[in-house]
Amino acid sequence: MSKLSYLEVKNISIELGEFKLKDINLKVKKGDYLTIIGPTGSGKSILLETIAGFYKPKLGKIYLAGEDITNLPPEKRKMSIVYQDYMLFPHMTAFENIAYGLKKKIKSKEEIEKRIKEICEILNITHILKRNVKTLSGGEQQRVALARALVIEPEVLLLDEPFSALDVKTKENLRNLVKKAVKEYGTTVIHITHDFEDVWSLADRVAVMKGGGILQEGSVEEIFYKPSVNFVAEFVGTNVLKGEVIGKDENGLTLIKVGDTVVKSVDMGNGDVLISIRPEDVVVFYGEKRCKVKNIRRRGEVVEITLDLGGETLRSLLTPNMLKTLNVEDEVSISVDPNSVRIIKSLKQKISYKN
Amino acid sequence: MSKLSYLEVKNISIELGEFKLKDINLKVKKGDYLTIIGPTGSGKSILLETIAGFYKPKLGKIYLAGEDITNLPPEKRKMSIVYQDYMLFPHMTAFENIAYGLKKKIKSKEEIEKRIKEICEILNITHILKRNVKTLSGGEQQRVALARALVIEPEVLLLDEPFSALDVKTKENLRNLVKKAVKEYGTTVIHITHDFEDVWSLADRVAVMKGGGILQEGSVEEIFYKPSVNFVAEFVGTNVLKGEVIGKDENGLTLIKVGDTVVKSVDMGNGDVLISIRPEDVVVFYGEKRCKVKNIRRRGEVVEITLDLGGETLRSLLTPNMLKTLNVEDEVSISVDPNSVRIIKSLKQKISYKN
Amino acid sequence: VNENKSQTNKQFEGKTIIVLCGAGLMKPMNELITNFENKTGAKVDVHYGGSAELFGILTTTGGDVFIPGAYKYTADAAKRGLILNNTIKNITYHIPVIAVPKNNPKHIKNLSDLAKPGVRVVIGDPKACAIGKVAKAILEKNHLWTNVSKNIVVETPTVNQLLIYIATNQADATIIWEDMATWAEGKGKIEIIKIPKDENIIKTIPTAVTVYAKKDGDYDVAMAFNSYISSEEASKIWKKWGFIPYNNS
Amino acid sequence: MEKFKAFCIFLSFLFTFLLFMSILSLFLVPNPSEIISSLKTEEMIYSLKLSIATSLASTVLVILFSIPVGYALSRHDFIGKSIVKSILDLPMAFPELVLGLALLLLFGQSFIGKFLESFGIKIVFTKIGIVIAQFFTALPYAVRVIYSTFEGINPRYEFVSRSLGYGELETFFRISLPLAKNGLFASTIITFARCMGAFGAVLILAGGSYMNTEILPITLYLNISYGNLGMAITSGILLIIISFIAILIFEKFEGVNSSNFKKVESIRN
Amino acid sequence: MEKFKAFCIFLSFLFTFLLFMSILSLFLVPNPSEIISSLKTEEMIYSLKLSIATSLASTVLVILFSIPVGYALSRHDFIGKSIVKSILDLPMAFPELVLGLALLLLFGQSFIGKFLESFGIKIVFTKIGIVIAQFFTALPYAVRVIYSTFEGINPRYEFVSRSLGYGELETFFRISLPLAKNGLFASTIITFARCMGAFGAVLILAGGSYMNTEILPITLYLNISYGNLGMAITSGILLIIISFIAILIFEKFEGVNSSNFKKVESIRN
Ligand SMILES: Nc1ncnc2c1ncn2[C@@H]1O[C@H](COP(=O)(O)OP(=O)(O)OP(=O)(O)O)[C@@H](O)[C@H]1O
Ligand SMILES: Nc1ncnc2c1ncn2[C@@H]1O[C@H](COP(=O)(O)OP(=O)(O)OP(=O)(O)O)[C@@H](O)[C@H]1O
Ligand SMILES: [Mg+2]
Ligand SMILES: [Mg+2]
């Protein structure tokens, strides 16, 4: 077993009714933070539960630190899990829930109380510790579930949408907490989320799942900047455009013609190519009027504008301050940092890239 | 009962163990879309359940279309609710869950199936209709719960974090769906959320709750641009700064000195004031070097930078393209559209605004 | 049961009496009742049960004719004033016998064998059931009680238990009523050893009309039934089912 | 394999084995020809039919009545609730003889008995009495089990149903009852079994009268009383077989409808 | 007020009233001085003590054994499970007489009986026999109720506990059992009541002999046989009172520990 993979999922297959996890492979290094993203129903939770030992795979193996744990009972796996629906023990108070795993590890009552006090202050749930968990609000339950999993400082932490029921502020605080804890204890984390902010602020690596399989796995940059040419690009919201390499500029940057516009890229290529551009990397300004604004939509703090580049459609993300003067049907120019323009595929044959 | 308030919550008080809802007042016009935001455990869900009729208030009244419904059984309230934890009937398939309320309203089997087919196609749950709900993934359950509530086209729709378990794409689609449905049927909606994108793209009005009370209620613009000087501003992430009115410019805009910088505002005022500025409305550029970059943090698609204006701290939101050249400790200049600088309070005495 | 309803003019047409009857008498009693109903037009609701249960019913809600499995209960009922003393009539004899398991493993031949060491004896509780009282009396009469009582493994409140314990080989010998044992003997479950008349104490099964019959206005029917089952005509039926009718005349 | 799991399964098999052995030894008491001839008697057939008919009737009645009672005890608070609950539990502690006497006092020459008789409803010494006796024998079990089942159901389900337009009663039938399925299964099995086996109370209230109020346990008793062990045990065997078939069918049926939790726990197998 | 709610509560009170009336009429049969003097007899005191002691012992044993059995039946799949379940349910359908016979055949002069006797354990005609008879009378109820309770518990709770480091057995005691609380309450009440009232099986297996294997139901029967009605009914009354107190204490206790669902449904009151 190579040192590189602390946790390794090898050719795991599972069948549950009509749903199948198909031939899943994952390698996670010690201390790595892996987020799993993907549309609902793609099998993320099932994969997580399989790693934790709730499902027994039909085929395949799971290794932890080189040891085959496929048939190990869950209590021997040194993993703790935060369930999507919390699964707090309904017959215990919040405190008892959190103390539960700790009691097994430490005998000293004072030590237990100390540790719980610490984590609860950070999670801001000290005031509800005496409460029956059945009367807690959604977010409170989620924080108790998090505390229960974090407090035992597991080797591997499995999180299934752990922040979904929390408000922005709390979520922000918890991200910092998890980050700190993970760094401090060298915990390996697998974290399922629908919130790309989690990915950006926490993850080292990202796996994208769909329909029971992993479509792409890589660093955050790879997934967002060089998504594989299929569902992933669409899912992470990256623009994928057809272009034609028309040469190089004085700095050796590749010149690519997209519609009526030319962009520069640090990547090499020639002929027809597919390029990816993150919407937030596009700068829009009044210039040569090569593109047309098709749509402007406020999305929370940011504004998404859709541009027609003369055939190709490009989405761009701006802050509202940029927008005051922009209107639909305006003609504008764009500029993108060459570092943000990535060639992801050469088109030998002119294939369509829509999944 | 004034025409203005279709649904009115009047002086509602409720006690649950140690938690109290205190003297809640809300007025919602017919067809209005009200979002409720607030930290976890602030009593949002309890308020929603009280409106739906699950809790009986100790004090206060609830009126719907002028009628006192405080003591009306839930089935007569013409409301449907999407629970935070879905509450799908575990003994029914997804289809049966969705059909449940509809069967009560319509007798024709074809009609029922037609309507369910319609909504399920939009929600993309057609393939799971025959499944036992206990085997559905979190997001699938949430969509089924949504379908169940939407399909009966209630007068009032109560949503408790209805999109929390969904991925970005699905969430986006569902927002559009809900928006359309609500417009089409003139449904009145109360929607609890932690996602400000829901607020921006759906809401007409927003109520902010904390500790069992409503802190502020108003239009989306009001809440985000003129938050009341307390917890609300912090919660919605608006900058609140102390400034001094130093005169007017040629266009009649108020000139306000904040730290070492001067900003313009459309609002009137004099003396010491508190002003609010949304981070996404701040433009940062290299200019007179009046402010210092203290911190740069990637937050998903956007980047948040913290500036020191000479005493006052200002957060600004940029897209990454703006950022390539910016570094911490850089000295920069800012500009804000006068429409985005709002005077929210005159400071007769120099009170602190931190709640 | 009473198929010819068309015939009217019967003496007690439309009247109903309730008979509380020992379960052991069921077979002949069924026949007697059918005959009585056909003859008189009365309807007889019969309630079979253990003597103790019947006694319980008699004391709580009543019944018109009381026919327990043994005289003891009639005497108890008389003491409590529940039956009309002058209506007590004996119907049949009740003869104690020794019962042993099939093949008689301990080779019991007579009463004195019950005192042999290692013989497991079960008998009825002398205070609780009639057979217990009689068994004790018989053993005392034959001066065996002290020795046999050492062999007694259990004293049971009901006579049914005795049969069960012998039939399932839990005990080697008991004393039970002959009428109860014949059927089981016929099926090869147990064996019976008769007790010579001079060593034995023979009991009777009585019938009596209760005080409730008088209250309900069923006195006439009850009296008629009471006489019928102790009549000469009835004695044939008793004989047919293995009972020895009491010589009333 | 996990030891605890093995231990639990072992215990299940141990008790099953013990019960099976004891039932088997019952079967060995009479000889086969005796069983056959006993089965063919008019008495046995009558008793069998009556047993099944009354037990079914009582089971239906018990379930019908214990559901609203169990529901009321779980969902509503009223004064004296724990006393009401205790009194309803109490008959489980009665020897059947006592229950029978109590019912006899209640429905016999009492006010209630006379009141019912004025409508032509006779209970004592009739087939109705059998049903009444079985009913009161089994009711407490059903109420207790159904009560504790409703205790475990989140009332929010009922609330959702009502907010979807269903009234209190409809919600009860469409939501509360189906959710209480497990408990209903358990109580139906217990009730049916208890009704089939009810003896003492039936004997006292309905009278063990030959070919009239004679159900299988009474056939058994009466035949032991005059020494006909073969017939007695045959009726016992018949009782066992009928009950076994009924319970087996029910268990199979429950298996099909039971919770889906199990499907997901493949690790345990 | 809602009609259905009113109807359910009405039914509860109706049955409570009927049972209460019938119990009351039992109390009215003897006169008070008779009861007092009966209570003071040595026999009554002996029987009372033995009843309580054996019922408690049997209840503890039943619960101890029915928990692992009910758990195994719910959580693990094995071949012939529905047959095992049906056989375990079956004794509920036995008239007590049949159960007594079956146990007699099993533990009497059989292989098992002789095997146990070689260790000095005598079951037939002894106090151990009382406990055995009560045990097998009540076990099926407890198993059935506990089984159906475990069916309703999501195994993910157990899984979370295990992933927090607790083994199979610890998880069982700390999670599964507490979650099955409602069912355990129900089955304990049923078991205790059933043990207190067990008569027929005890009579056959333990003999029911005066001041030896004499428990309250047997005292009752014995004294009816003696014609000593005062004693008989007093033992019945004693049985009722003891059971009532035990059940009431238990119900109160359950009330305290019961689910929190109710606290939140203020609309219903
Ligand atoms: N026991 C089961 N039997 C049949 N299908 C199942 C079972 N459990 C899960 N599924 C299906 O498997 C698919 C994957 O489920 P999973 O819970 O892993 O989704 P997910 O990726 O976590 O989705 P979400 O983001 O909504 O939580 C879903 O379509 C779900 O309905
Ligand atoms: N039955 C109860 N007894 C005591 N406290 C309760 C009860 N129900 C809810 N609470 C408390 O009331 C507060 C408000 O609960 P509520 O569910 O309304 O919060 P919320 O605003 O919806 O939070 P979230 O965003 O986490 O869902 C919480 O602190 C909760 O613990
Ligand atoms: Mg999931
Ligand atoms: Mg909530």
Residue A233 domain flag? no
From edge to edge, which strands make up the β-sheet containing C16-22? C43-49, C16-22, C65-67, C203-209, C89-94
**In the prediction, which pLDDT does B4 show?**
67
| Cα–Cα distance measured from residue B269 to residue B159, given in angstroms and rounded to the nearest whole number | 40
Residue B233 domain flag? no
| Cα–Cα distance measured from residue B329 to residue B326, given in angstroms and rounded to the nearest whole number | 9
* pLDDT of A355 over the 70 cut: no
Question: Mutate which of C125, C129, C152 to test chain E, going by most E C-beta atoms within 10 A?
Answer: C125
**Residue nearest to ligand 2 atom 4, measured at CA:** B17
Residue E159 main-chain phi, psi, to 5 deg: -65, -45
Q: Which pair of tokens denotes residue B36?
A: 């409720």
Residue A2 domain flag? no
| Cα–Cα distance measured from residue E234 to residue C127, given in angstroms and rounded to the nearest whole number | 18
Instruction: Say if strands C96-101 and A261-265 run parallel, antiparallel, or are unpaired.
Output: unpaired
**In the prediction, which pLDDT does B353 show?**
42
Q: Is the CB of A54 under 6 A from ligand 1?
A: no
Is residue B7 a contact partner of residue B188, using CB atoms and an 8 Å limit?
yes
Counting as low any pLDDT under 50, the low residues of chain D are 1, 259-269
The residue-averaged pLDDT of E240-260 equals 78
Q: Report the residue among A140, A141, A143, A168 best suited for mutation to probe ligand 2: largest number of ligand atoms under 8 A from its CB.
A: A140
pLDDT in tens, A151-176: 999 999 999 999 999 998 899 889 98
pLDDT in tens, D71-96: 999 988 888 888 899 999 999 999 98
Q: Is the CB of B171 under 6 A from ligand 1?
A: no
Q: What does the H/E/C string look like for chain E?
A: CCHHHHHHHHHHHHHHHHHHHHHHHHHHCCCHHHHHHHHHCHHHHHHHHHHHHHHHHHHHHHHHHHHHHHHHHHHCCCCCHHHHHHHHHHHHHCCHHHHHHHHHHHHCCCHHHHHHHCCCCCCCCCHHHHHHHHHHHHHHHHHHHHHHHHHCCCHHHHHHHHHCCCCHHHHHHHHHHHHCHHHHHHHHHHHHHHHHHCCHHHHHHHCCCCCCCCCHHHHHHHHHHHCCHHHHHHHHHHHHHHHHHHHHHHHHHHHHHCCCHHHHCHHHC
* pLDDT of E105 over the 60 cut: yes
What region does B274 belong to: left with phi over 0, alpha with psi -120 to 50, or beta?
beta
Is residue C67 a contact partner of residue C204, using CB atoms and an 8 Å limit?
no
**In the prediction, which pLDDT does A354 show?**
40
CA-closest candidate to residue B204, choices B185, B228, B223, B181: B223
- A113 shares its domain with A13: yes
Compute, in degrees rounded to 10, the torsion defined by CA atoms A297, A303, A308, A309.
180
Q: Which pair of tokens denotes residue E165?
A: 């480091």
Counting as low any pLDDT under 50, the low residues of chain B are 1-2, 349-355
Q: Distance from first CA to last CA of chain C, Å, rounded?
A: 31
CA distance B55 to chain E (A): 5
CA of B294 to the centre of ligand 2 (A): 38
Whether residue A170 lies within 8 A of chain B, CB to CB, comes out as: yes
**In the prediction, which pLDDT does B2 show?**
47
3-state SS class at A342: strand
CA of A114 to the centre of ligand 2 (A): 26
Residue B230 domain flag? no
> Is the ipTM value over 0.90, yes or no?
no
- A185 shares its domain with A267: no
CA-closest candidate to residue A274, choices A324, A234, A218: A234
pLDDT in tens, A279-337: 888 888 887 777 888 988 888 788 889 999 888 888 888 887 766 678 888 888 888 88
pLDDT in tens, B122-158: 889 999 999 999 889 999 999 999 999 999 999 999 9
3-state SS class at B306: strand
| Cα–Cα distance measured from residue D156 to residue E259, given in angstroms and rounded to the nearest whole number | 13
So what CATH class is D53-268? mainly alpha
CA of A161 to the centre of ligand 3 (A): 7
- A80 shares its domain with A158: yes
E contact residues 8-67, partner B, Cβ 8 Å cutoff: none
C-alpha to C-alpha distances, B33 to A160, B171, B172, B188, nearest whole angstrom? 31, 17, 17, 6
Residue A355 domain flag? no
Is residue B273 a contact partner of residue B241, using CB atoms and an 8 Å limit?
no
**In the prediction, which pLDDT does B311 show?**
81
| Domain membership of residue A79 as a residue range | 7-225
Residue B108 domain flag? yes
* pLDDT of A353 over the 70 cut: no
CA of A148 to the centre of ligand 2 (A): 19
B11-21 in b/e form (b: 16+ CB < 10 A) is ebebeeeebbb
Lowest mean pLDDT of B242-256, E21-35, E135-149, E193-207, name the range.
Answer: E21-35
A269 vs E263: which has the higher pLDDT:
A269
* Of E18, E90, E243, Cβ closest to residue D244: E90
Dihedral sign for Cα atoms in the order B59, B64, B67, B70: negative
D contact residues 200-259, partner B, Cβ 8 Å cutoff: 259
Q: Which atom of ligand 2 is nearest to the CA of B212?
A: 14
C-alpha to C-alpha distances, E169 to A103, B245, D2, E75, nearest whole angstrom? 16, 72, 9, 13
Residue B355 domain flag? no
3-state SS class at B319: coil
Q: Which pair of tokens denotes residue D206?
A: 């309905």
> Along the 249 residues of chain C, how does pLDDT read in single tens digits?
444 444 456 788 888 899 999 988 988 999 999 999 999 999 998 888 888 888 888 888 788 999 998 888 899 899 989 999 999 999 999 899 999 999 999 999 999 999 999 999 999 998 888 899 999 999 999 999 999 999 999 999 888 899 999 988 899 999 999 988 888 887 888 999 999 999 999 999 999 999 988 887 889 999 999 999 999 889 999 988 888 898 754
**In the prediction, which pLDDT does E256 show?**
62
Which among B203, B225, B247 is the end of a domain? B225
Task: Write the single-letter amino acid at A319.
Answer: T
CA-closest candidate to residue B99, choices B109, B87, B86: B109
Q: Is the CB of B138 under 6 A from ligand 1?
A: yes
From edge to edge, which strands make up the β-sheet containing B239-248? B261-265, B254-258, B239-248, B272-277, B342-346
Whether residue E267 lies within 8 A of chain B, CB to CB, comes out as: yes
Q: Is the CB of B130 under 6 A from ligand 1?
A: no
CA distance B116 to chain A (A): 20
Whether residue A53 lies within 8 A of chain D, CB to CB, comes out as: yes
| Cα–Cα distance measured from residue B226 to residue B219, given in angstroms and rounded to the nearest whole number | 10
Is residue C92 a contact partner of residue C205, using CB atoms and an 8 Å limit?
yes
Which among B225, B247, B263 is the end of a domain? B225
Structural domains in chain B (count): 2
Are residues C52 and E224, on separate chains, in Cβ contact within 8 Å? yes
Domain boundaries, chain E: 53-268
CA of B140 to the centre of ligand 1 (A): 8
Are residues C156 and E208, on separate chains, in Cβ contact within 8 Å? yes
**In the prediction, which pLDDT does E257 show?**
59
Is residue C108 a contact partner of residue C121, using CB atoms and an 8 Å limit?
no
Within 10 angstroms of residue A331's Cβ, the number of other Cβ atoms is 14
Q: What does the H/E/C string look like for C213-226?
A: HHHHCCHHHHHHHH
Q: Which pair of tokens denotes residue B11?
A: 């002086």
Which among A177, A197, A225 is the end of a domain? A225
Contact list, E153 vs chain A (CB under 8 Å): none
Residue B2 domain flag? no
Is residue D243 a contact partner of residue D196, using CB atoms and an 8 Å limit?
yes
Whether residue C75 lies within 8 A of chain D, CB to CB, comes out as: no
Q: Is the CB of A135 under 6 A from ligand 2?
A: yes
- B244 shares its domain with B212: no
- A220 shares its domain with A246: no
**Residue nearest to ligand 1 atom 6, measured at CA:** B135
DSSP at B43 = S
Instruction: Say if strands A331-336 and A282-285 run parallel, antiparallel, or are unpaired.
Output: antiparallel
**In the prediction, which pLDDT does C1 show?**
43
CATH number at residue A176: 3.40.50.300
Residue of D nearest to C99 (CA): D227
Asked if A touches C (at least 3 Cβ pairs < 8 angstroms), the answer reads no
- A145 shares its domain with A249: no
- B111 shares its domain with B137: yes
Question: Mutate which of D162, D163, D257 to test chain B, going by most B C-beta atoms within 10 A?
Answer: D163
